[in-house]
Structure 1
Amino acid sequence: MGQTDSRPRGIRNNNPGNLNFAHQPGAVLEPGPNARFARFPTPEAGLEALRDQLARYILRDHIDTVTGIISKWAPPTENDTSSYIEGVSHSLGVEPDETLGQPTPRLLSGLMNAIIRFENGQNPYGGLVLQVASDMQKDVMT
């Protein structure tokens, strides 16, 4: 018998934000009977997708508060959204409805780190998150 991978689903899928599969570049639908999330080929690819989605919320959709971002990211129909908002706000040191401003590497890495911890109960990526957040050169508006 094969050993079961006990890591959280987002870590196993190289998708630490637990993004739904939406035909993202390089992603495939995760395997299994309850498949809905994207599976990325590398942790970096999953972190880039997380970064790009957050930047899209801010730049394209004009969602620029923790309340707005997390309410869209993790709707209350399937999450404890209020606790999620509280945790991310606390982690960033901002009020839930405070305007966050432009998606800088510092802001994006803060959001990414908080989301990764909330989604997976852990964050094994260390400095890779800031590295990926700092490398936002491609067009995220698509």
Structure 2
Amino acid sequence: MTEMRGVRNRNPGNIDYSPANSWLGQLAPDPAIEKRFARFDTPENGIRALGKTLLTYQRKHGLKTVKAIINRWAPSIENDTGAYVRAVEANTGTAPGAEIDLVKPAVMQGFVKAIIHHENAGFAYPDAVLVEGVRRALL
């Protein structure tokens, strides 16, 4: 079975590559390997970038609900955001429309795990990888 792009790139959130981002552990772009998305040296650093992006959505853009965050994360032009929101809410035990606090490690872990699952066709990292990536994001 072929690895999903996000797993292969160790970028389980499928963050677009941007020269403006100097993520910890981000590999130099190589269009022969990947034309659109960032690549990372470890899955933990890819999870860190995912978590840092989500924190920016809360802190800078004031997005406090799963729906608000996912609508920015995965625009409806490319995704079924309604299904995505429902999946993340279900996987995090969040009531529709409830405000969440991503600074809480358990909340961030549930959110990140749900995004990884959705972006990578049900893939899940071992708990130790997820926990370490989230720990790095929350530093």
Shorter-normalised TM-score: what interval? 0.7 to 0.9
> Which residue is equivalent to 2:50?
50
> Which residue is equivalent to 1:29?
29
> Which residue is equivalent to 1:140?
none
> Which residue is equivalent to 1:59?
59
- Further displaced range: 15-24 or 64-73: 15-24
CA distance 1:39–1:17, shift in 2 (3 Å):
same
Q: What is the TM-score when the length of structure 2 is the normalising length?
A: 0.86
- 1:57-102 superposed Cα distances (whole Å, 9 cap, x missing partner): 1122211100001000000001111100010011111123111135
> Which residue is equivalent to 1:85?
85
- Separation (CA, whole Å) in 2 of partners of 1:102 and 1:12: 26
- 1:95-141 superposed Cα distances (whole Å, 9 cap, x missing partner): 2311113521111111100000000013341211122223421xxxx
Unaligned runs of 5+ in 2: none
Give yes or no for the alignment of 1:133 onto 2:134.
Answer: yes
Higher relative contact order (CA 8 A, sep 6+): 2
Count residues in correspondence: 133
> Which residue is equivalent to 1:121?
121
CA distance 1:44–1:66, shift in 2 (3 Å):
same
> Which residue is equivalent to 1:18?
14
- Further displaced range: 34-43 or 58-67: 34-43
Unaligned runs of 5+ in 1: 138-142
Q: What is the TM-score when the length of structure 1 is the normalising length?
A: 0.84
Off by >4 Å, runs of 4+ in structure 1 = none
Residue identity (%): 35
**Is the 2:116–2:124 Cα contact (8 Å) retained in structure 1?**
no
> Which residue is equivalent to 1:70?
70
- Further displaced range: 26-35 or 39-48: 26-35
Instruction: Indicate the RMSD between aligned Cα atoms, in angstroms.
Output: 1.9
- Separation (CA, whole Å) in 2 of partners of 1:29 and 1:11: 16
Cα displacement (A) at 1:46: 0.5
- Separation (CA, whole Å) in 2 of partners of 1:131 and 1:45: 9
